[in-house]
A and B are shown apart, each in its own frame.
Chain A
């Protein structure tokens, strides 16, 4: 391309356009293909008898008359599968960590209500569930500590005796001299913050179908996973099958939000059973099993204290956190993923010298916690942003002005946080300003004050945060974890018909990657959108992939696609230059047509492909090269994605129900590939964050039973629970990665709980209460208001 050729620069690009999604027609007409839509001939169904005990020894299993149920084929407990599988070990280099082995069925002991114990295989799910009724499991109940504050004690009953402790994760970050800083601090505020246990509630329940090919002695697992490559790699070891005989496919997947990105016992189980029985075996979770067996989230107890000067400058922060890991450390992310991120992100996007954050991750007899949209940061942002507003209130400063003084400024980038995270080139200040401008903040404050005068409980709350997205190989997504989360591969091929296949190991489960990755390729390669097929979610497409999670696919997938498209484009141009007798510098491709600046001659991609592949001898042997490329991208560092959320809420003075009156998100996600999709991601994530703030809570009673075991009890937002959301896109200095993209899929879930908690606290400030536990349900507000009648322990010094 010539530097003088402005026409090339002015050509419309697809990156940045609201391109309608190419995957939509199949979803809209009911011909998407999710795992449960597949029914290969001879398929068997699995139903699971799950533990009804939180911690007990399995004394005996009696199958009774289960085999008398017509259609029952086989019944297994752990002892039947010993020779068929090795456990998955979620290893980590974290000091003092214990990796709980993961088996398909409970061995010897059960450790949470809902843990799979017995598998029944039958010709239909109905028959398998009928047979469950006949199974009798004799347990010897063992002592247990269901709450993390009890499980962390030295004399607490051990869940995994081999670990010698329930505290399998310990980590501390510190900088400066925090205790001295606090001694001399003019103003401090503190709180005891808790985001209670949540779960992802993807609308498609977890679903697995394994097919054993007797002829090739090979296995195919169709799984509702967000990370088919990780599942392939771990199962290869567990099942002793090389990648050539083990293929893991994530077809259409109905949402994950992180929770489908880990290895599950049932995933191992269907593979073992398919091989054992030489028939396809399917397991589909029902919602009860989902709410009691899918990985859960958050549930840290955060005691944190913030020191500031009278003029509103942050001095230091100290925090002691107990994370409730649940019964197992999840594969591959380990119990460190959620817990350690709470203390590594706690200082937030603020300038601060002194910090100490300690976490202890504790085993409890509850379902394992694992990745859920936002990971660690919803909890840390909730705690930090509450402290920020508490401090602002205490010194009588507007919380916006307080944040403005402490958010890292553009000239300070790259800024190393107290926990070692590097913030770089992200619009911290601009997002704060953008959110305030969008709502006309001074006017909104007047509106709130007027409403209060009229006796309404109205409050405004903000949350500013930054997150690391698109993380490369410099750090692992989960600390100490041995899998590679730093690279992704794209393989692009133009075939003999001129059609383009772009293959990724990433998996799309709602993100619209078939569209956005194609948009990136169109701009780089110069082809037409409709000529590209994006393939994803299949372990056989690229040598290694860890999948879609942690807001990484636009950055890593988009980066890999860009690199591969450039290589393919160079090959197309070399072939075209020969065919057109032009120099490469004078050629360019746009809309699938190769044109020269110096002639009217053009070639289509199809013609070039035909010349390269089909027309023998058309291009000399030593110049002919396949129009393919496979490129792997490693962004090395992560990119900082930042945002400010601002909301105004009203608390009903009689019912204590919270209604959201205004909501705005100002965010910097770098160069936007498809604004329509970004808006949708923001809306969805904010809705989940509002759910976490106001509705969602997994409750285990003192006996370890989950009492929120249906969607009538575990409440997720419906259309009436969420407002329209204003979105301000701020494109600041682009990050130093290929494409200039930042990840953004998780952000809403990070900002919304904190912003809503701050707004509710503001609305109730005249009543002397402060929101420290989420969800802030009407019942909790009632309790808080009742408790203010009795003297509270001093909340600040």
Chain B
């Protein structure tokens, strides 16, 4: 298949690669540039494990072709913090035990990063609704809800 050149920014760093037009963004991130923190859980856009932030809004990287991301700015889990210094959402997940096996966790954290920027998250119902696009099979969600409640409170009302 004819390869095409794309340039995009991931976590503030620019990448240029020759890719097949059919390459999924999730495969691009994981295989082309080695950022394996973005996980693939279903490949049909339901589970949300592959969620990244694309030009400021959360997106399913398994339903996005890499070539569609040409010229965009992408944030992934690796851009939010590191083992020495967790990002704020990551820290809240740790404090509230919002993860067990950790596989869905990057997708949740990226979705929540978006939600905190754009959604009121003032009630538990709103928080659960905001989280309902991501599947976690381990936690039963309660500890994740607790983490988001704290983050939303800390953020205050949306401006």
Contact = CB atoms under 8 A, between A and B. Distances in A.
Nearest to B103: A254
A683 B143 contact: yes
A27 B102 contact: yes
A510 B83 contact: no
Nearest to B92: A28
B44 A28 contact: no
B41 A204 contact: yes
Given A29-B90, A30-B78, A685 B105 contact: no
Nearest to A204: B103
B16 to A, nearest CB: 20
Central interface residue in B78, B104, B140, by most chain A CB within 10 Å? B140
Given A20-B94, A688-B137, A719-B145, A31 B83 contact: yes
Given A25-B86, A30-B35, A254-B103, A687 B41 contact: no
B50 to A, nearest CB: 11
A217 B122 CA distance: 60
A139 to B, nearest CB: 27
B68 interface: no
Nearest to B89: A28
B131 interface: yes
A255 B90 contact: no
B20 interface: yes
Nearest to B110: A30
A684 interface: yes
B42 interface: yes
Contacts of B47: 203, 287, 711
A203 B103 contact: yes
A677 B97 contact: yes
- Interface size range of chain B in the complex: 35 or more
Given A30-B36, A31-B37, A710 B44 contact: yes
A663 to B, nearest CB: 10
Contacts of B99: 24, 27-28
Interface in B23-39: 23, 30-31, 35-39
B100 to A, nearest CB: 4
A512 B143 CA distance: 15
B131 A287 contact: no
B51 to A, nearest CB: 12
A680 B141 CA distance: 9
A204 B101 contact: yes
Nearest to A677: B97
A684 to B, nearest CB: 4
Contacts of A720: 128-129, 132
B144 A254 contact: no
A687 B77 contact: no
Interface string B126-159: 0111011111111111111100000000000000
A507 to B, nearest CB: 11
Contact of B138 (A24, A255, A286): A255
Nearest to B133: A718
A681 B137 CA distance: 11
Interface in A422-444: none
A257 B41 contact: no
A686 B82 CA distance: 32
B110 to A, nearest CB: 10
Nearest to B49: A203
B43 interface: yes
A330 B95 CA distance: 39
A287 B144 contact: no
B150 to A, nearest CB: 15
Contacts of B101: 27, 202-204, 252-255, 509-510
Contacts of B100: 255, 510-512, 680-681, 684
Interface in A680-726: 680-688, 710-712, 716-720, 722, 724-725
B61 interface: no
B109 interface: yes
B81 interface: yes
Interface of A: 20-21, 23-34, 36-37, 39, 126, 200-205, 252-255, 257, 286-287, 509-512, 676-677, 679-688, 710-712, 716-720, 722, 724-725, 748
20 contacts: A20-B97, A24-B93, A24-B94, A25-B86, A26-B102, A34-B39, A126-B20, A201-B137, A203-B103, A203-B135, A204-B39, A254-B101, A287-B41, A287-B43, A677-B97, A680-B97, A680-B100, A684-B137, A687-B141, A688-B140
Given A29-B82, A718-B135, 19 more contacts: A21-B94, A26-B83, A26-B102, A28-B81, A30-B77, A32-B103, A37-B30, A203-B138, A255-B101, A287-B43, A287-B44, A676-B97, A680-B140, A684-B140, A710-B42, A711-B47, A717-B141, A719-B131, A719-B144
Sorted nearest first, the 9 A-B pairs with minimum C-beta distance are A30-B37, A27-B102, A254-B103, A683-B140, A510-B101, A687-B140, A30-B77, A510-B100, A37-B36
